[in-house]
């Protein structure tokens, strides 16, 4: 759905893992941008009706981009800078207590 | 037209009385304020809490126990009438204790309840017993008292169901109708509203904090004062804590509520961070696993408190047919308000069980 | 950690950056907070990273690069900058509770400038919650912050200056399949024309020229442009794959991979509302805005609002308003005399007003249609709680007279976004259904926290503001 307007250097790219899959990103990307750039569609499943949801506003207002980052649930991916080695999962429904 | 019963105040008390009256055949009008109002009903924590209710106050204890035991009927009847679920769950209630002394106090509560002729099932759990019920219980919790008779409900869904049941049954719900004046007239009462007078043979004043102002017009005394309680609400969490509890509960949608505080701040229904912080700190002592859960709102609400905290139910001696109804336990008592008070006031009387709840009791201290 | 400042500024967009810089240059101990990791707000997102990038800057245009003068001035001013900090509660007085990386902080100041800017007007239509549907602003953020541009079939639906600007940026970035569905209503044109003469004054003619240039270039570009579009619905199972709409009475359907929506922007209301600031309905802009005096002072002592958060005025006017508000604060702090304040305000006011002359024309021309607040019953109004327009209509019929009661019965506004995306629709729909004005209906009561904090973080907020 998205492409970079500039070629990058994929061999040297930092990566996050999303649902076990390695995703390359560019420094400065928010996690949401990195995931969208990788072609990921739904970032979460609504806890109310299980519908697939994805970023809508990219500015922290809509709370649709909630994902689990390094074990922390319901984090706004658009407000979180992507960092090398992050382990990310979809937020499937409501938070689960440990 | 002249209604059999006009109820001023569309909160949990008014709505329950109105519906209760209408389902026995009375024609009822429920007058409610607009969108911006204090609305104690919206601030209720949602517990139907029987263990320890009214200790030392036998009439109130018995009234509350009766109310608790009628709750199943209430929720079933509302569901049958409207298709709506009040969210009532009788999963039992836990009162968490952080010391042996606190646990002893809970034992004392049961003893005193029994001494007043009340009967309630209460178990006392130590840590091991508690861990079976609540695997994530925090290390500081020493034990708890548990009563299978306690339950919880969504006060908002309850209010919605009561209002809808009233309307579906032919009653009149009139929102946006702030009442400034009530005048006795031949055959009953005339309530002045922005859209003209509403006439009723009998009238109930159940307007929460607004009752104090209107009561004298009906020869009633309703000395109520605000007491603030704050509640903290979290994001949805997967259902994991089904019980009612003294300091927290998980709603049907999954949000946790932490409550509640008691503050004398006049009519300030705002919030104080330290209070919200304390509520969170207590919740974390009980369930440390809540640490990372997001808080999405906290707010204050004004309880409607009489001088001794017990209800006022009273018929005006000056204007028979005019009744006062106020309490701070509009959820627990919703059943008896609907099944006992509603039909009674429509017929112009009050149940014998509430005879001691007149406002005259406040004058006794005057010497 | 609790700290005392002369002034705290919330928001590092044009208004906030200008305010913080002017305050600090004026000798006030100033703290600037923003939840993003970099300054710039939305309009100048990633400006510091991008200014050296000729290709991207070229696509984004010269107006974007103007942001560098603001960030440079900010960095040189001596204002204390705290990024990645989310404000979650503001108290009159003023006290600001924030969180940075999981740590709660309390800062106090004699004066507070709320410069939290604008957000996109929510566009509730069938299918808008599907993955692959975003605001035009969101797509622009992806371009600015990641050099990302839509591949595949892009459909932009809506209208207004940002709508056309982004379309142009897409073409310049090489988007191949672009369709524009313009929802601007020709019925607006006669009334808009009444404001046209004024729009030529001040700096207004620049905006008109830019707009005309954009429209002209779009007509010759590789873009399909349809006007007078209405009745939009988006289809798809797990993501948006097609869009239906009408041009006049003629139905159309297009397949698509990505949909961008835009119907203008509205002030972010949360913080002033949480403080209890009175709001007025701005009918010309179809939005609520907080009541302020000419220089941004709210009705609460020491609390100021500057920029789009106070009413939509655009980036340039926001920057001048930031300066103006800072001057008012400096005078209140005693850092400058009222005479000096008034002298400096004269030129700042002149500069700001020059950028406002075209607004009445543009606002009227691109005024959203009524279908925006009267969606069909199945359309989701509250995304967080999945409540549809039909449920809200039913609640109104049953006596829910306003947003607070609707919230109580339907849970609209009770989700994580705290009513940001449904508030305008709920107020608008209730207004239409009851035949009353938005001003009469009012808006949600906004509760703290402004943005979620964790139970642990809130528990740590103690009496003196220091973590326990």
Average pLDDT of the segment spanning B207-222? 93
The whole-number pLDDT of residue C241 equals 98
Contact B3, B200 (CB under 8 A): yes
Closest CA relative to residue C395, chosen from C408, C406, C380: C406
Average pLDDT of the segment spanning C4-31? 98
Neighbours of C81 (CB within 10 A): 19
Neighbours of C83 (CB within 10 A): 14
Q: Which residues contact A12 (CB under 8 A, 6 or more apart)?
A: none
Closest CA relative to residue B203, chosen from B225, B224, B181, B235: B181
Q: Does the fold of domain C122-263 match that of domain C2-119+266-336?
A: yes
The structure tokens 């940001």 sit at C420
Average pLDDT of the segment spanning C261-285? 97
Query: Is the model's pLDDT at C153 over the cut of 80?
Result: yes
Q: Is A70 on the interface with B (CB under 8 A)?
A: no
CB within 8 Å of chain C, chain B residues 229-258: 232-235, 253, 258
| CATH number among 3.40.50.10260, 3.30.70.141, 1.10.10.1100, 3.30.450.20, domain C374-441 | 1.10.10.1100
- For domain C2-119+266-336, the question of CATH label 3.40.50.2300 is answered with no
Task: Indicate which of A64, A75, A79, A97 best probes the interface with B, i.e. most B CBs within 10 Å of its own CB.
Answer: A97
The whole-number pLDDT of residue C2 equals 62
The whole-number pLDDT of residue C468 equals 41
Chain A residues in contact with B235 by the CB 8 A cut-off are: 74, 94-95
CA distances for B269 relative to B266, C41, C95, angstroms: 8, 34, 19
Range in A4-8, A70-74, C104-108, C170-174 the model is least confident about: A4-8
- How many whole angstroms separate alpha carbon C444 and alpha carbon C338? 38
Query: Is the model's pLDDT at A40 over the cut of 70?
Result: yes
Closest CA relative to residue C275, chosen from C430, C446, C43: C446
Q: Is A28 on the interface with C (CB under 8 A)?
A: yes
Query: Is the model's pLDDT at C465 over the cut of 70?
Result: no
3-state SS assignment for residue B7? strand
Q: Is C459 on the interface with B (CB under 8 A)?
A: yes
The dotted CATH code for C122-263 is: 3.50.50.60
The C-alpha R_g of chain B, in whole angstroms, comes to 21
Q: Which run of H or of E encompasses B75?
A: helix B71-82
Q: Which run of H or of E encompasses B257?
A: strand B255-258
As a whole-number percent, the residues of chain C with pLDDT over 70 amount to: 98
Q: Is C239 on the interface with A (CB under 8 A)?
A: yes
Average pLDDT, chain A: 96
The whole-number pLDDT of residue C466 equals 47
Quick: pLDDT tens for C303-333.
Answer: 999 999 999 999 999 999 999 999 999 999 9
The whole-number pLDDT of residue B43 equals 83
3-state SS assignment for residue B298? strand
Average pLDDT, chain C: 95
Quick: pLDDT tens for B70-99.
Answer: 999 999 999 999 999 999 999 999 999 999
Closest-CA residue of chain C to B43: C408
The whole-number pLDDT of residue C294 equals 87
Please report which confidence band the pLDDT of residue B365 belongs to, taking 50, 70 and 90 as the band edges: low
The whole-number pLDDT of residue C154 equals 98
The whole-number pLDDT of residue A7 equals 85
A-B contacts (CB, under 8 Å): 32
As a whole-number percent, the residues of chain A with pLDDT over 70 amount to: 100
The whole-number pLDDT of residue B364 equals 66
- How many whole angstroms separate alpha carbon C240 and alpha carbon C129? 9
Please report which confidence band the pLDDT of residue C408 belongs to, taking 50, 70 and 90 as the band edges: confident
- Option in B32, B258, B295 nearest C449 (CB): B295
Query: Is the model's pLDDT at C464 over the cut of 80?
Result: no
Query: Is the model's pLDDT at C63 over the cut of 80?
Result: yes
Query: Is the model's pLDDT at C467 over the cut of 50?
Result: no
Average pLDDT of the segment spanning C239-261? 97
pTM for this model (two decimals): 0.94
Task: Indicate which of C87, C99, C129 best probes the interface with A, i.e. most A CBs within 10 Å of its own CB.
Answer: C129
CB within 8 Å of chain C, chain A residues 52-81: 52-64, 66, 74, 78-79, 81
Q: Is C268 on the interface with A (CB under 8 A)?
A: yes
CA distances for B114 relative to B245, B329, B333, B336, angstroms: 22, 22, 21, 22
Closest CA relative to residue B71, chosen from B155, B172, B163: B155
Q: Please provide the size of chain A in residues.
A: 98
Q: Which residues contact C118 (CB under 8 A, 6 or more apart)?
A: C42, C265, C266, C267, C268, C308, C309, C312
Contact A72, C269 (CB under 8 A): no
The whole-number pLDDT of residue C463 equals 52
Boundaries of every domain in chain C: 2-119+266-336, 122-263, 374-441
Quick: pLDDT tens for B241-270.
Answer: 999 999 999 999 999 999 989 999 999 999
Per DSSP, the residues of C290-355 read: E---TTSB-SSTTEEE-GGGGS---HHHHHHHHHHHHHHHHHHHTSS-HHHHHHHHHHHHHHHHHT
The whole-number pLDDT of residue B33 equals 87
The whole-number pLDDT of residue C398 equals 83
Average pLDDT of the segment spanning C191-212? 95
Angstroms from A96 CA to nearest CA on chain B: 5
Average pLDDT of the segment spanning B5-11? 96
Q: Which residues contact C105 (CB under 8 A, 6 or more apart)?
A: C1, C2, C3, C85, C97, C98, C99, C465
CB contact under 8 A, A63 and C35: no
Please report which confidence band the pLDDT of residue B42 belongs to, taking 50, 70 and 90 as the band edges: confident
Average pLDDT of the segment spanning C19-42? 97
Q: Is A47 on the interface with B (CB under 8 A)?
A: yes
Neighbours of C211 (CB within 10 A): 18
User: Which value does ipTM take for this structure?
Assistant: 0.97
Range in B11-20, B38-47, C174-183, C452-461 the model is least confident about: B38-47
Please report which confidence band the pLDDT of residue A45 belongs to, taking 50, 70 and 90 as the band edges: very high
B-C contacts (CB, under 8 Å): 103
Average pLDDT of the segment spanning C230-259? 97
């Amino acid at each position: 759905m998205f492409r970079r307007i500039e070629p990058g250097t994929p061999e040297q790219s930092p990566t996050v893992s999303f649902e076990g899959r390695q995703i390359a990103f560019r420094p400065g990307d928010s996690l949401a941008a990195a995931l969208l750039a990788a072609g990921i569609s739904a970032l979460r499943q609504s806890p109310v009706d299980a519908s697939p949801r994805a970023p809508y506003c990219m500015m922290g207002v809509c709370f649709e981009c909630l994902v689990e980052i390094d074990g922390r649930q319901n984090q706004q991916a658009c407000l979180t800078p992507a960092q090398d080695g992050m382990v990310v999962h979809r937020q499937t429904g409501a938070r689960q207590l440990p | 037209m002249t209604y059999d019963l006009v109820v001023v105040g569309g909160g949990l008390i008014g709505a329950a009385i109105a519906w209760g009256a209408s389902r026995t055949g009375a024609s009822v009008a429920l007058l409610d304020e607009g969108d911006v109002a204090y609305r104690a009903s919206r601030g209720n924590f949602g517990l139907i809490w029987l263990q320890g209710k009214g200790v030392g106050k036998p009439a109130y204890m018995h009234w509350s126990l009766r109310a608790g035991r009628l709750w199943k009927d209430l929720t079933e009847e509302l569901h049958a009438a409207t298709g709506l679920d009040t969210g009532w769950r009788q999963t039992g209630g836990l009162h968490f204790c952080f010391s042996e002394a606190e646990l002893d106090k809970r034992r004392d509560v049961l003893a005193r309840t029994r001494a007043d002729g009340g009967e309630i099932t209460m178990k006392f759990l130590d840590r091991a017993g508690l861990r079976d019920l609540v695997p994530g219980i925090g290390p500081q919790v020493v034990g708890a008292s548990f009563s299978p008779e306690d339950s919880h409900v969504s006060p908002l869904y309850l209010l919605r169901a009561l209002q809808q049941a009233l309307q579906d049954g032919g009653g009149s719900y009139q929102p946006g109708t702030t009442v400034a004046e009530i005048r006795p007239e031949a055959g009953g009462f005339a309530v002045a509203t922005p859209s003209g007078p509403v006439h009723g043979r009998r009238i109930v004043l159940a307007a929460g904090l607004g009752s104090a102002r209107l009561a004298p017009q009906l020869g009633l005394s309703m000395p109520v004062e605000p007491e603030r309680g704050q509640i903290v609400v979290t994001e949805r969490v997967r259902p994991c804590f089904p019980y009612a509890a003294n300091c927290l509960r998980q709603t049907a949608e999954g949000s946790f509520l932490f409550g509640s505080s008691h503050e004398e701040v006049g009519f300030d229904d705002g919030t104080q961070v330290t209070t919200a912080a304390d509520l969170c700190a207590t919740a974390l002592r009980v369930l440390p696993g809540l640490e990372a859960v997001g808080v999405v709102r906290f707010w204050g609400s004004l309880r409607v408190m009489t001088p001794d905290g017990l209800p006022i139910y009273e018929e005006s001696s000056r204007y028979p047919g005019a009744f006062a109804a106020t309490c701070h336990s509009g959820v627990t008592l919703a059943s008896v308000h609907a099944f006992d008070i509603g039909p009674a006031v429509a017929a112009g009387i009050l149940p014998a069980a509430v005879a001691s709840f007149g406002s005259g009791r406040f004058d006794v201290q005057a010497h | 950690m609790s700290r005392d400042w002369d002034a705290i500024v919330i928001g590092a967009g044009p208004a906030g950056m200008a305010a913080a810089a002017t305050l600090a240059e004026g000798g006030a101990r100033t703290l600037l907070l923003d939840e993003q990791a970099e300054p710039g707000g939305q309009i100048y997102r990633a400006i510091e990273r991008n200014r050296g990038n000729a290709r991207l800057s070229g696509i984004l245009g010269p107006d974007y690069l103007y942001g560098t003068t603001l960030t440079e001035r900010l960095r040189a001013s001596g204002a204390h900058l705290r990024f990645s900090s989310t404000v979650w509660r503001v108290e009159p007085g003023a006290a600001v509770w924030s969180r940075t990386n999981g740590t709660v902080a309390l800062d106090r100041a004699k004066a507070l400038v709320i410069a939290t800017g604008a957000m996109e007007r929510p566009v509730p239509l069938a299918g808008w919650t599907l993955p692959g549907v975003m605001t035009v602003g969101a797509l622009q953020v992806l371009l600015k912050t990641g050099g990302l541009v839509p591949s595949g079939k892009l459909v932009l639906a809506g209208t207004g200056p940002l709508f056309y600007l982004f379309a142009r940026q897409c073409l310049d970035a090489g988007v191949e399949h672009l369709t524009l569905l313009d929802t601007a209503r020709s019925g607006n044109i006669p009334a808009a024309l009444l404001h046209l003469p004024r729009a030529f004054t001040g700096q207004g003619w620049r905006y008109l020229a830019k707009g005309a240039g954009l429209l002209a270039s779009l007509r010759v570009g590789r873009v399909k442009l349809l006007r007078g579009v209405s009745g939009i619905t988006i289809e798809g199972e797990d993501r948006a794959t097609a869009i239906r709409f009408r041009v006049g009475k003629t139905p159309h359907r297009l397949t698509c991979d990505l949909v961008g929506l835009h119907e203008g922007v509205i002030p972010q209301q949360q913080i002033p509302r949480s403080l209890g600031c009175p709001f007025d309905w701005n009918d010309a802009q179809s939005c609520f805005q907080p009541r302020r005096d000419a220089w941004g002072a709210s009705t609460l002592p020491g609390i100021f609002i500057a920029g789009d958060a106070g009413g939509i005025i655009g980036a340039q006017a926001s920057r001048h308003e930031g300066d103006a508000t800072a001057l008012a604060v400096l005078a209140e702090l005693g850092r400058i005399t009222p005479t000096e304040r008034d002298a400096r305000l004269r030129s700042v006011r002149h500069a700001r007003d020059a950028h406002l002359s075209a607004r009445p024309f543009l606002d009227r021309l691109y005024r959203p249609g009524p279908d925006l607040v009267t969606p069909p019953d199945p359309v989701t109004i509250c995304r967080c709680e999945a409540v549809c327009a039909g449920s809200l209509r039913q609640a109104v019929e049953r006596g829910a007279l306003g947003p607070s009661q609707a919230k109580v019965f339907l849970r609209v506004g009770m989700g994580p976004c705290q009513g940001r995306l449904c508030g305008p629709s709920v107020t608008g729909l209730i207004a239409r259904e009851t035949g009353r004005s938005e001003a009469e209906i009012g808006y949600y009561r906004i509760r703290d926290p402004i943005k979620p904090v964790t139970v642990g973080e809130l528990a740590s907020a103690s009496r003196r503001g220091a973590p326990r």
